[in-house]
Amino acid sequence: MQLTNRKKVIEQKPMTFAERIYFPAIVKGLRITLRHFFKKIPTIKYPEEIRPYSKNFRGQHSLKRDEEGRERCTACGLCALSCPAEAITMTAAERKKGEEHLYREEKYASVYEINMLRCIFCGLCEEACPKEAIYLDGPHVTADYLRKDFIYGKDKLVEPTFDITKLKS
Ligand code: SF4
Ligand code: SF4
């Protein structure tokens, strides 16, 4: 039974002499190939040549520290809520006495993970963060072999600490 009238009957015409010897088709193909010899090559010899990055480039996330080197993230979860790919997970913890130099606020993320295989680098987590704690200003996420190695934890995401005394000297 025919459900639509979109069916097309293809007519199988007998081949002409020119079609049977393939010569015109070969000439046509060669003409296209030759034309490409004189065109500007759109590809580059990576990694010897590198194209400049766009100003809007979004790379790997980094969890920022404040000017005193303390982690800015307060584990509020807004980044995870705004993530359309559900790539962010975290565990919140209370700051203990004596940890004021490590975490800026009373709550911090003891675990913060991003699944880089899910992330689409949309930047919504960066926009949602009220503490300016997360930015996609890192390099490319590099290739790897195992899925588990694409779950980036705090060891890869938190900015390295810096010695402020060295900056002053
Ligand atoms: S960049 Fe987009 S997809 Fe990636 S973690 Fe942030 S919100 Fe999710
Ligand atoms: S990175 Fe920002 S939005 Fe995400 S949990 Fe930390 S403070 Fe909240």
Give CA–CA dist 133/135, Å, rounded. 7
Nearest-CA residue for atom 1 of ligand 1: 121
Smallest-distance ligand from the CA of 130: 2
Closest atom, ligand 2, to C-alpha of 63: 1
Q: Which pTM was predicted?
A: 0.74
Distance 165 CA to ligand 2 centre (A): 28
Distance 128 CA to ligand 2 centre (A): 8
pLDDT digits (tens, 9 = 90+) for 61-105: 999 999 999 999 999 999 999 999 999 999 999 999 999 999 999
Give CA–CA dist 23/33, Å, rounded. 15
Which residue, 79, 138, 139, 87, is CA-closest to 113? 87
Mean pLDDT, all residues of the chain: 91
Q: Is 88 in the pocket of ligand 2 (CB under 6 A)?
A: no
Higher model confidence: residue 148 or residue 18?
A: 148
**Ligand 2, residues 63, 76, 103: which to mutate, most atoms within 8 A of Cβ?**
76
- The response to whether 79 counts as a known ligand-binding position is yes
Closest atom, ligand 1, to C-alpha of 88: 5
pLDDT digits (tens, 9 = 90+) for 108-141: 999 999 999 999 999 999 999 999 999 999 998 9
- The response to whether 118 counts as a known ligand-binding position is no
Distance 142 CA to ligand 2 centre (A): 24
Question: Which amino acid would we find at residue 3?
Answer: L
Higher model confidence: residue 38 or residue 125?
A: 125
DSSP string of the chain, one letter each residue: ----S---PPP-PPPPHHHHH-HHHHHHHHHHHHHHHTSPP----TTTS-PPPPTT---S-EE-B-TTS-B------HHHHH-TT--EEEEEEEPPTT-TTTBSSSEEEEEEEEETTT-----HHHHH-TTS-EE--S-PPPP-S-GGGGEE-HHHHBPPP--HHHHH-
Residue 88: how many CB atoms within 10 A of its CB?
21
